[in-house]
């Protein structure tokens, strides 16, 4: 569940508490190009107030018009479609002949939305399953990697933190990086055995994981939805975390440091810990996209941008965006060697 849809859930709970009626719309399926992915949410109040989006185009305007006309205020759960013809796709702002299929739930169960909100707040992976045959909704335990599933009758949507970021080092950059990661719906974990850093760590909704970094990496059993960033500048901590992370299934492993420091790090990992060339090639260092970053928030932004590019499959093996060359553009890499 992304941040936009969490806002939808919060609004639904507020509107329920205030006695308003509203309808929940969920993107069930798309064909062609579509601005919002399957599982995206939008709610419409009976007076036309809207929260969230399903297309980012004219579909929302048409849904509001139909809501004000009384079409979606009551009745059974059902499906509506937009863009079934090229003319309709153009009229509703769906690019490239896109088609949109929406599940419509008039007056969704407020108690079940509260249950879902509690599960998300507790960091639990959860599935919300809508059965259009009888309009029933149930909440089930989810697992990392659960997809949106729709067979024309039953719609299952995953909620909760589908991705996670482990940061080694409770340093200043980590605080900014945690905010960016949370905004992008990552579960954020922090490992730093140095009490002089962790004693002042107080960011909400992040979890301090006790222990040495290499032990923590092993205990977490990192999967393809996990990312690791080493931020301490201390080889005794960073190298041990990287040793295990580079052998894991994590989709992204990065480390703070200048280009020269990164070369020394790679040599240490190869010579003293026996990592293979293939494992070392997975290391992103200097970490972050080349944004010319200087300050801690800029560096955190560059790191999160690179993690996002890796998550979305548009990061080339050389650490640059696919089809782009930072060197040709004359942009210096985000060198972290200046930060101590």
| Domain match, 75 and 138 both | yes
Total count of domains within the chain? 2
Give domain status of residue 154, yes or no.
yes
Cβ atoms 287, 229 nearer than 8 A: yes
**Looking at residues 217-242, what average pLDDT do you find?**
95
- Of residues 118, 121, 100, the one with CA closest to residue 38: 100
* pLDDT at site 161: 78
State which of 120, 137, 159 marks the end of a domain: 159
Domain assignment of residue 169, given as a range:
163-311
Give domain status of residue 127, yes or no.
yes
| Domain match, 148 and 168 both | no
- Of residues 266, 210, 196, the one with CA closest to residue 235: 266
| Domain match, 31 and 74 both | yes
| pTM, 2 dp | 0.72
Give domain status of residue 230, yes or no.
yes
Give domain status of residue 327, yes or no.
no
The model's pLDDT over 156-178, given as tens digits with 9 standing for 90+, comes to: 999 987 799 999 999 999 999 99
State which of 141, 159, 177 marks the end of a domain: 159
Starting from the edge strand earliest in sequence, which strands make up the sheet with 126-131, in order? 136-141, 126-131, 154-159, 149-150
CA distance 171 to 232: 7
The model's pLDDT over 61-90, given as tens digits with 9 standing for 90+, comes to: 999 999 999 999 889 999 999 876 666 656
| Domain match, 103 and 205 both | no
The model's pLDDT over 30-62, given as tens digits with 9 standing for 90+, comes to: 876 666 889 999 999 999 999 999 987 678 999
Give domain status of residue 185, yes or no.
yes
Give domain status of residue 325, yes or no.
no
Cβ atoms 154, 26 nearer than 8 A: no
């Amino acid at each position: 569940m992304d941040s936009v849809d969490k806002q939808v859930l919060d609004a639904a709970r507020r509107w329920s508490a205030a006695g308003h009626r509203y309808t929940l719309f969920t993107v069930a399926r798309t064909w062609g190009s579509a601005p919002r992915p399957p599982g995206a949410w939008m709610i419409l109040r009976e007076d036309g107030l809207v929260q969230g989006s399903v297309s980012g185009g004219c579909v929302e305007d048409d849904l509001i018009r139909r809501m004000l006309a009384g079409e979606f205020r009551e009745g059974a759960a059902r499906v509506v479609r937009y863009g079934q013809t090229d003319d309709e796709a153009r009229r509703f702002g769906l690019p490239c002949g896109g088609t949109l299929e929406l599940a419509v739930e008039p007056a969704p169960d407020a108690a079940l939305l509260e249950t879902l909100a509690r599960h998300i707040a507790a960091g639990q992976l959860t599935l919300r399953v809508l059965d259009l045959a009888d309009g029933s909704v149930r909440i089930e335990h989810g697992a990392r990697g659960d997809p949106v599933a729709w067979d024309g009758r039953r719609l299952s949507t995953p909620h909760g933190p589908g991705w996670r970021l482990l940061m080694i080092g409770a340093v200043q950059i980590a605080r900014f990086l945690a905010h960016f990661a949370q905004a992008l719906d990552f579960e954020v974990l922090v490992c730093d055995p140095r009490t002089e850093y962790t004693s002042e760590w107080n960011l909400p909704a992040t979890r301090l994981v006790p222990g040495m970094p290499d032990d923590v990496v092993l205990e977490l059993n990192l999967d393809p939805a996990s990312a690791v960033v080493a931020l301490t500048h201390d080889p005794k901590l960073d190298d041990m975390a990287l040793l295990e992370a580079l052998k894991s299934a994590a989709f992204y492993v990065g480390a703070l440091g200048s280009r020269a420091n990164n070369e020394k790090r790679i040599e240490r990992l190869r010579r003293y810990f026996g990592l293979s060339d293939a494992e070392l090639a997975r290391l992103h260092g200097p970490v972050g996209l080349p944004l010319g970053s200087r300050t801690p928030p800029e560096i955190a932004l560059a790191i999160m941008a690179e993690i996002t590019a890796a998550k979305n499959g548009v990061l080339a093996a050389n650490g640059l965006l696919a089809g782009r060359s930072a060197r040709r553009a004359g942009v210096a890499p985000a060198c972290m060697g200046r930060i101590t």
